[in-house]
Structure 1
Amino acid sequence: MATSFRSRLARLRVDLTPWRGSRDFRILVVAGSVFFLGGMVGYVALPYQLYQLTGSNFAVGAMGLVTIAPLVVFGLYGGALADHMDRRKMLIGTGAAQVLICALLLANTLLDDPRVWLIYVCGALNAIASSLQRPSREALFPRVVRHEQMPAAVTLNSLTLQVGQLAGPALGGLLVGTAGVTWAFAVELAGLAIATLLYVRLGSYKSNEHSTPPSLRAIGDGVRYAFRRRDLLGTYAVDMVGMFLAMPIVLFPAFATEVLKEPKLLGLLYSAEAIGAMLATLTSGWASRVHHHGRAVVLATITWGASVGIAGLAPNIWFAIAFFAVAGGADMISGLFRAVIWNQTIPDEMRGRLAGIEMLSYSLGPLGGQSRSGLVADLTSVRTSIVSGGVLCVAGVLATAVWLKDFWRYDARTDEHAVRERELRSTAAVGEGTAP
């Protein structure tokens, strides 16, 4: 009995094989974690500063509107660049740009009268740099680990990012509440700089012989490929519906301060989802035995929406933290299986462009959701915005699953694209800095 119990526990543990086997995977993960840690500190500081300067939930949510156009244009173009250029150089160049943008935000906090317009400008510029960077980073993961290791690689990457997501908001909340936003942006600046230096140590990852120069035609080819495959379309649609309808983060300052009367615990609200995500990740060894990835994404996103809605009814902040943690765990599981579908089925010559589309799918939903949440909160109340978002999310995801039946039926063992990529990579020898 004891042996059987220990065996079951062992199956839940995170698989460290990709970490042990690939130097560049380790660099990507560590650099990304540091980058994300700094970014999450700024993620708390920027909306806090906007709210303090304007007193408007919509003004905070409007940052999402400002960044939507840059994300669409440069996300797609960044994907095309990732399929044609050395992906290492893309990471270094865009990282340096984000360091400069953060320095501008830091300088703005030192003014006697910080400029609100400059915050929006920096937000738009940062969206451009981030949109150009993410496709190259995401497209590198299938190159640095083996095909069969992708579930473990995605899990490990998620785990380390969750450390940043957990520690970053807590640190950011502590800094803005004690030392001020200036110190928060200074910490973000240091994180971005360190991560960019780490990217310098990556090996070179040039495009293959099938690469296409960046152009509207190349971008169009990527978009058409994504929409022809209903399994990929399902990963985008379900996530966008869930995030657009049930993204409560923009309301956290008002929720903690005006509704729950616990402004000092604002950082814990931001960290709650990361806590749930980390717990889900640490017990995710079972994920490699799941083959119907589409069903897992749908069920996890429904759980996300339901948990957010219940959190909106919270009588106290600890109740809210608990259900936002459940939501974070569900979101992590959804993201894990979406990433496995992407990384195990998309050919390398299309990976950058599809990574750009992926980035749009998991960026536009939350950004639009922030604006929706802020507007509904200003028109009704903070609680109404959060609860109604959760209810609409559950209904919207169910409707999407009914519409995309092929996504619900997806099976990694028999899907033609997964089988093709598995066969191609199994015949490729592991080279220096690369993996099949």
Structure 2
Amino acid sequence: MSVEAGSQRGKKRKLLKSVVVDVRPLRTPAFRRLFTGTAITAIGSQLTTVAVPKQVFDLTGSSGYVGLTGIVALVPLLVFGLWGGAIADTVDRRKLLIFGNAGIAVVSALLWAQAFFDVGSVWLVFVLLAFNQAFFAINMPTRSAIVARLIEPELLPAAAALSGTVNTFGMVFGPMAAGALMPVIGLPTLYLIDTIALVIALYAVWRLPPLPPLSGTVRAAGLKDVLDGFRYMGTQKVLLASFVVDIIAMVAGMPRALFPEMAERTFGDPPGGGLALGWLYAAIPIGSVVIGLFSGWLGRVRRQGVAVTIAICAWGLAVVGFGLSNSLWLAVVFLCLAGAADMVSAIYRQAILVMAATDEMRGRMQGAFTVVVAGGPRIADLTHGWAAAAVGTAAAATGGGVLVIVFIAIAVALLPAFWRYRAAAVTK
């Protein structure tokens, strides 16, 4: 091989590494175990995400009730997301993560039981969903806060991209698998598969090292710890603004409560569920996975406030396109574009969060992040579900996308520091 050819190959490899997702965090054994547990449950958890609203729609025949699942999930998310984040700052995070994973597995088994024995109670589904979200709200901020203790600080953005990519990868294949398998194996089996995946992942979490507070003091977390987190957040204006813009994007623009009705009544799925339902749930994550796999270039963008703002506006435009679509595949394309924009926004918002929070506050900030990221779509489930019941699914989705753009413009005008925010240094 000539020197010139070798140089060209070296340049191509360097260019490829600057574009594709950075896998260096996986060289750390502890992070690799945490990542493995996340990957195992990524698809299984999405089976339940599809199964719950589908079962509610089957029991009631109403998108309004599907939207009500948003409020049922929101209350435990608010309470246990904030409190769970505070607990994660005061106890061994490994033990707390084991508790959260085990709790989700037990609830998933109960969801399987009620569906298998055909209890037929939508209110029982709501109760189990509330418990599922309570354990989830404890689990997620703990898992996110652990990452910073397992790898070097300069690898945190890469770790966020890896975790986000594997989660959205599950969001692609989980819903597609649910749509394809539901008519074959039945809805109860989806819950059972999720339960088995959670039990397997629990072993990976068990093998993590002890992660007590850096202060060495383990104590109970109370209301004061939660309030201290809010006071700390108030001192971080750009961080606070990043939460506000994400709430706007999710509450006004997330149309997933419309998917069961649109799959059946707009895109022709049979009453028992079908591929259209799976494609609708999978489309947003497909766009997110594509961006995640080719996220290497994102670390070179320093004006992260501008990037988040543009990405959220792109999300709103894509949701408008989805609402106006009469073809399933055109709707899927617009949802994929929305997912790509959302992933860009999420990576930069997580990077801002990591840079702003100290370790003793990281659990509480991740708790607030969990409330915003997971709670916002639950409110959207309610607003979009009842809006669809009043004006139809197309108007509900299109109007939501328009509101995203309008509210983001107002928020940036009121919070100019966020628009001006620049990363302190280029990360890779």
Paired AA for residue 373 in structure 1: H
Q: 2:349 aligns with which of 338, 341, 344?
A: 338
Paired AA for residue 228 in structure 2: D
Deviation by residue 1:40-91 (Cα, 9 ceiling, x = unmatched)? 0111111111101100101011011112221111111101110011111011
Deviation by residue 1:226-253 (Cα, 9 ceiling, x = unmatched)? 1221111111101101100011111111
Contact 2:266 2:326 in 1 (8 A): no
- TM superposition shift of 1:100: 1.0
Matched, 1:249 2:256: yes
Matched, 1:259 2:270: no
Paired AA for residue 162 in structure 1: T
Q: 1:215 aligns with which of 215, 222, 245?
A: 222
Q: 1:362 to 1:112 in 2, by over 3 A?
A: closer
Contact 1:78 1:136 in 2 (8 A): yes
C-alpha separation in 2, matches of 1:145 and 1:344: 14
1:15 match: secondary structure: coil
Deviation by residue 1:258-303 (Cα, 9 ceiling, x = unmatched)? 1122443210111111111111111111111112222211111111
C-alpha separation in 2, matches of 1:176 and 1:98: 22
- TM superposition shift of 1:10: 4.0
Aligned residue in 1 for 2:133: 127
Matched, 1:230 2:241: no
The answer for unaligned runs of 5 or more in structure 1 is 423-436
Stretch deviating more after TM superposition (398-407 or 383-392)? 398-407
Matched, 1:161 2:160: no
1:372 match: secondary structure: helix
Aligned residue in 2 for 1:289: 300
Tell me how many residue pairs correspond in the alignment: 415
- TM superposition shift of 1:384: 0.5
Deviation by residue 1:293-344 (Cα, 9 ceiling, x = unmatched)? 2221111111111101101111210000111001001111111011111112
Stretch deviating more after TM superposition (150-159 or 369-378)? 150-159
- TM superposition shift of 1:7: 5.2
Paired AA for residue 25 in structure 1: F
| 1:85-100 → structure 2 map (5 Å cutoff) | 85-100=91-106
Contact 1:91 1:196 in 2 (8 A): no
C-alpha separation in 1, matches of 2:230 and 2:100: 23
Q: 1:141 aligns with which of 139, 142, 147?
A: 147
- TM superposition shift of 1:5: 6.8
Contact 1:151 1:287 in 2 (8 A): no
Paired AA for residue 261 in structure 1: G
Matched, 1:60 2:71: no
C-alpha separation in 2, matches of 1:123 and 1:358: 20
Q: Where does structure 1 differ by over 6 angstroms across 4 or more consecutive aligned residues?
A: none
Paired AA for residue 380 in structure 2: G
Q: Structure 2 length normalisation: TM-score?
A: 0.93
- TM superposition shift of 1:116: 1.2
C-alpha separation in 2, matches of 1:111 and 1:39: 21
Aligned residue in 2 for 1:396: 407
Paired AA for residue 199 in structure 2: A
Aligned residue in 1 for 2:287: 276
- TM superposition shift of 1:133: 1.3
Deviation by residue 1:360-419 (Cα, 9 ceiling, x = unmatched)? 1112211101100001000010100111111111111121111111111112217xxx9x
Aligned residue in 2 for 1:73: 79
Aligned residue in 1 for 2:24: 17
The answer for unaligned runs of 5 or more in structure 2 is none
Indicate the percent of aligned positions where both proteins have the same amino acid: 34
C-alpha separation in 2, matches of 1:124 and 1:50: 14
Q: 2:396 aligns with which of 364, 385, 399?
A: 385
Contact 1:177 1:264 in 2 (8 A): no
Contact 2:42 2:166 in 1 (8 A): no
- TM superposition shift of 1:178: 2.1
Aligned residue in 2 for 1:320: 331
- TM superposition shift of 1:8: 4.0
